[in-house]
């Protein structure tokens, strides 16, 4: 599904990732672990073509066949099916929950919204609420739901349960595992072991390099 080979990433002259290779197969959950600054966020950004310059290859099984997307603009990667949920969530805080969902919607908005809300039923009661007036956990649910509105074929999630109240952590984790159960491949960066225990593979990043597995 996604095959990353010797991916290096640079912020200006500073190298943050060193020849990282990994694969995410259909329906697989792959977890990236590592301490603060190890390069987890950088790896997800590099896959999306955000902020960093990269070397190496990113092969992806698109509906039309295999492609190498390492030179593609971010929007093209997103359109091809890479769904990214950033650590800072990037919601439109002045818009309501429903408006945040519709901003991301494709042509089949109703069906997409229904599917996203089924996965996060908490949001059904909050549709008219401005995103600014939600808890961190509710905002995270909205960020994931909004990404689902784009019909992704694989999800890249940066610390989806970081800094969230325990009761909502459980719920977010269960929803994401249900997505995986339904066949959605997931690449999750995390510092705790919420997803690692259920992962098909765990990669440990140390100072920008993969160590062990
Ligand atoms: P965290 O959990 O704190 O987000 P992380 O594992 O995601 O940690 P990254 O944020 O990917 O780590 O950082 C990897 C390295 O890249 C660090 O040395 C960091 O200082 C550096 N870095 C991150 N963002 C930038 C940036 N915008 N400009 C320059 N260097 C950066």
Predicted confidence band of residue 93 (pLDDT cuts 50, 70, 90) = confident
d(CA 136, CA 23): 31
- What is the Cβ-side half-sphere exposure of residue 37, based on CA atoms within 13 angstroms? 1
Give 41-80 pLDDT, tens digit per residue: 999 999 999 999 999 999 999 988 999 999 999 999 999 9
d(CA 178, CA 175): 5
The answer to whether 118 and 110 have CB atoms below 8 angstroms apart is no
CA–centroid distance, residue 133 to ligand 1 (Å): 29
Give 149-166 pLDDT, tens digit per residue: 999 999 999 999 998 999
Predicted confidence band of residue 127 (pLDDT cuts 50, 70, 90) = very high
First-last CA distance in the chain: 19
CA–centroid distance, residue 141 to ligand 1 (Å): 24
Q: Residue 39 CA: which ligand 1 atom is closest?
A: 11
Residue 213 has pLDDT above 60, yes or no: no
Q: Residue 51 CA: which ligand 1 atom is closest?
A: 27
pLDDT at res. 105: 83
Nearest to 142 by CA among 156, 162, 165, 160: 160
CA–centroid distance, residue 101 to ligand 1 (Å): 29
Predicted confidence band of residue 181 (pLDDT cuts 50, 70, 90) = very high
Q: Residue 191 CA: which ligand 1 atom is closest?
A: 2
Q: What is the pTM of this model?
A: 0.94
3-state secondary structure string across the chain = CEEEEEEEEEECCEEEEEEEEEEECCCCEEEEECCCCCCHHHHHHHHHCCCCEEEEEEEEEECCEEEECCCCCHHHHHHHCEEEECCCCCCCCCCEHHHHHHHCCCCCHHHHHHHHHHHCHHHHHHCCCEHHHCCHHHHHHHHHHHHHCCCCCEEEEECCCCCCCHHHHHHHHHHHHHHHHCCCCEEEECCCCCCHHHCCEEEEEECCEEECC
Q: Which residues of 122-148 are buried (b: 16+ CB within 10 A; e: fewer)?
A: bbeebeeebbeebeebbbbbbbbbbbb
Among protein residues, the one with the nearest Cα to ligand 1's atom 18 is 37
pLDDT at res. 163: 86
Residues with Cβ within 6 A of ligand 1? Answer: 11, 14, 16, 34, 36-42, 51
Candidate of 42, 203, 211 to mutate for ligand 1, largest count of ligand atoms within 8 Å of Cβ: 42
Predicted confidence band of residue 212 (pLDDT cuts 50, 70, 90) = low
Q: Residue 42 CA: which ligand 1 atom is closest?
A: 11
CA–centroid distance, residue 166 to ligand 1 (Å): 26
Q: Residue 35 CA: which ligand 1 atom is closest?
A: 6
Token pair of 182, please? 């339904």
């Amino acid at each position: 599904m996604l095959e990353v080979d010797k991916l290096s990433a640079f912020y200006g002259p500073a190298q943050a990732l060193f020849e990282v290779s990994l694969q995410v197969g259909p329906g697989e959950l792959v977890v990236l672990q590592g301490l603060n600054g190890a390069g987890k966020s950088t790896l997800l950004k590099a896959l999306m073509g955000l902020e960093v310059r990269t070397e190496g290859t990113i092969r992806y099984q698109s509906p039309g066949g295999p492609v190498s997307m390492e030179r593609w603009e971010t929007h093209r990667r997103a359109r091809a099916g890479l769904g990214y949920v950033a650590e800072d969530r990037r919601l439109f805080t002045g818009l309501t929950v429903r408006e945040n969902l519709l901003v991301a919607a494709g042509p089949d908005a109703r069906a997409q919204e229904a599917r996203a809300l089924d996965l996060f039923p908490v949001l059904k009661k909050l549709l008219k609420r401005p995103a600014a007036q939600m808890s961190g956990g509710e905002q995270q649910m909205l960020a994931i739901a909004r990404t689902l509105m784009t019909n992704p074929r694989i999800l890249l999630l940066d610390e989806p349960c970081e800094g969230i109240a325990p009761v909502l952590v459980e719920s977010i984790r269960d929803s994401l595992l249900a997505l995986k159960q339904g066949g959605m491949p997931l690449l999750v960066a995390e510092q705790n072991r919420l997803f690692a225990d259920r992962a098909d593979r765990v990669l440990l990043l140390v100072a920008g390099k993969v160590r062990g597995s």
